[in-house]
Chain A
Amino acid sequence: GQNIDQPTEMTATEGAIVQINCTYQTSGFNGLFWYQQHAGEAPTFLSYNVLDGLEEKGRFSSFLSRSKGYSYLLLKELQMKDSASYLCAPGGYQKVTFGTGTKLQVIP
């Protein structure tokens, strides 16, 4: 089975840095995805971590610790358009399971 835990909501200020944590317990783990989802829209792919460590991609970075069942998404230089839900999705080789998401609100 799959058990995914991430905060329900977070608020951060424009220009700041925010870290969204995710802990998971899954069977058949292969890697972990992060998706961004704006209200009323489909999720869009942000990152995929297979190995332990930090993957940086522009303003967004994602970290994975397989032994701890822990990941985080780091957003730097926050912009108003970053207000969205961020979905943590640990995956096996063939499918992923989504958490309920963290709704991030960026305020001026």
Chain B
Amino acid sequence: DTGVSQDPRHKITKRGQNVTFRCDPISEHNRLYWYRQTLGQGPEFLTYFQNEAQLEKSRLLSDRFSAERPKGSFSTLEIQRTEQGDSAMYLCASSPETLGQFFGPGTRLTVL
């Protein structure tokens, strides 16, 4: 399968715990995006990378959130001290220079 993959697909955690998600983009895509989506809403932009450089972060991304893409390939999104409001679907997408973004299956986070 050469699409975008995300791991884990589901994560249940207790409030206050740290969680980390991984995204593996389509191999020839140099851009990688993270979004958060809650029920009834469209995906909200969190951050994006061009190769290993993080070019933009949304103001939605508090300092409890951090994302990395150390070698310009896979990326991780970490949430520290999770809160119930962090419960959402976290989507990763990748794209080549000018075409549409291709989404992974998402990681559904539930914070108890």
Interface residues of A, Cβ cutoff 8 Å to B: 33, 35, 41-45, 48, 87, 89, 93-101
Contact = CB atoms under 8 A, between A and B. Distances in A.
Nearest to B55: A94
Given A98-B42, A99-B42, A43 B103 contact: yes
Contacts of A44: 103
Contacts of B45: 95, 97-98
B102 interface: yes
Interface string B68-96: 00000000000000000000000100000
Interface of B: 31, 33, 35, 40-45, 48, 50, 55-56, 91, 98-106
Given A42-B105, A94-B48, A48 B41 contact: no
Contacts of B44: 98
Given A43-B103, A100-B40, A93 B33 contact: no
A45 B102 contact: yes
A48 B56 contact: no
Contacts of A98: 35, 42-45
A13 B10 CA distance: 35
- The 6 A-B residue pairs whose C-beta atoms are closest, nearest first, are A98-B42, A42-B103, A45-B100, A98-B43, A100-B42, A42-B106
Contacts of B104: 42
Given A45-B100, A94-B55, A87 B42 contact: yes
A102 to B, nearest CB: 10
A42 B23 CA distance: 14
Contact of A45 (B48, B55, B101): B101
Contact of A48 (B35, B99, B105, B106): B99
Contacts of A94: 31, 48, 50, 55-56
A59 B33 CA distance: 29
Nearest to A41: B105
Nearest to B100: A45
Given A35-B100, A41-B105, A45-B102, 14 more contacts: A33-B100, A33-B101, A41-B106, A43-B103, A45-B100, A45-B101, A48-B99, A94-B31, A94-B50, A94-B55, A95-B33, A95-B45, A97-B45, A100-B42
